[in-house]
Amino acid sequence: MNSARRLLQTQYFRCLAAAPNYRASVQHVVFAHPPRRTSLSQLQWPRSFHGSPGCSQNRPVTTAVGQGGEKKEKSLVTYDELFEQVARDAKSKATFNRVVDIFSKRDVRRRGHVEFIYAALKKMPEFGVERDIAVYNKLLDVFPKEVLVARNFIQRMFNHYPRQQECGVQVLEQMENYGIMPNVETKVLLVQIFGDKSHPVRKYQRLMYWFPKFKHANPFPVPRDLPQDPVDLARLSLGRIANDLDSTTTVYQMPSTDLSETGEEISLPHIVGTQSPDQRSLLAKHNPSRPVFVEGPLPLWLRGTCVYYYVLRADPPPPEEKVEEPCDPELFGPGQSIFYPLVVDLALDRDLGDDYSFDVDDVEEGVVYAMCMTGQGDQATLGRWISGLQETNPILGQIPTLFRLESGPRELQGASETPRGPDIEAEPRTMEHEPFPEEEHQHSQGMKQ
């Protein structure tokens, strides 16, 4: 229509130039259809260019100029420093929750929440909240809700928001390391944050499946809170080592302080020992001409605490001194039950498909007669333990005792500094390799110079 109108206008202008009599008619035809006016809203203006967030990082950062011409640069405070600033007075659960609340209220979009959660997981043992399920749920609440949920199977297949999902799995892994069972609130938070088909929710399902199965699997559970008293801790440790329920634990010396002849205060360590009736009978049958040995320190881990103990043992007897005890004939009589036999002379460690062409040489070890735990691993303290054992084992007065002490967590005293009893001898070859404290101190000073 516009092109036809333009052709008609051109023809009438030609006629107007040729015949002036038709000017009125031409004006009537030309202005019968006046040109339409276009409003400002109908005009198409060129759109402005929208830059990415990375472009704004390249722009110079404006700095505020204070009095005296000094520039005040705005620097980001790390999250580790945030924990230190808030918890200057005391580190507790209340201060930890306060730091989390400060970060949550700082920004609605929770920018930097992944870095904050990683820093919080690292700081949890310092605040003593590494075993609190409420604190873990509060950390999960830092994630933005319904933003990280996958909307379709393609996003779910390509691991939607991988850094956030990995951070959520790390929170659950730390709960697993400390043996914390998730609750219903943990599941609700994970579903709101990541969705029901995400990796953190699958990790939660695995924890809820395996944790109840292994919760009571250990027949000798270690208490969560270990006793702070060294004597009670020694009783607990020796009770776990001793395999005999009839063994008795004896406290030979309580920790105390005493005054020496020169007037100096001497701290006496605790000495706790254990021995069973079978060990006493075996020690009574020991050959007095063969020595017994005090060996240690040997480590024992109770959760995150390492304690050390010492044993009184003997070398295995030579073949000519071995005496085989005859079996009781009543155990093989006709009165023995077929279904519940008292003695079974079968090689239960072998099967029909096993290879009999080779044999394993079993290393024979000596008999352990007693065990003890003490605050100091020197020869004088262990000598008091041997003296206490002589009250229930008089044969120790006839048996020579040798010390095989290794370098442990504390400095061991030399053989010349410890008093020797009439029945206690020091093994010279084991004490030659242990440096005296004075010589070691002089050597360290020489190295520093």
Instruction: Give the DSSP letter string of 174-233.
Output: HHHHTTPPP-HHHHHHHHHHH-TTSHHHHHHHHHHHHHHHHTT--SSPPPSS--SSHHHH
Q: Are 168 and 194 in contact (CB under 8 A)?
A: yes
For residue 297, whether the previous peptide bond is cis, meaning omega lies within 30 degrees of 0, is: yes
> 296-312 pLDDT, tens per residue?
899 999 988 999 999 99
Give the Cα separation of 140 and 185 in Å (integer): 10
Tokens coding 279: 């060990």
Q: What is the Cα Rg of the chain in Å?
A: 43
Q: In the structure encoding, which two tokens stand for residue 190, read together?
A: 């994970």
Q: Say if residues 294 and 386 touch (Cβ distance below 8 Å).
A: yes
Q: Where are the domains of the chain?
A: 1-33, 79-214, 230-317+366-448
Length reported for the chain? 449
CA proximity to 241, closest of 283, 210, 273: 273
- pLDDT at res. 157: 85
Give the model's pLDDT for residue 355: 64
- Comparing CA positions, the residue from 315, 286, 294 lying closest to residue 402 is 294
pLDDT at 266: 81
**10-residue stretch averages of pLDDT, the chain, 449 residues long:** 65 60 46 47 44 40 40 52 80 91 88 92 92 94 92 88 94 94 95 93 95 87 89 92 87 84 83 94 91 92 91 87 69 59 64 64 82 91 93 92 78 38 40 38 38
Region of 256 on the Ramachandran plot (φ > 0 left; ψ -120 to 50 alpha; else beta): beta
Residue type, 423: D
CA–CA gap between residue 221 and residue 215 (Å, rounded): 10
| Cα dihedral 196, 202, 207, 213 in deg (nearest 10) | 100
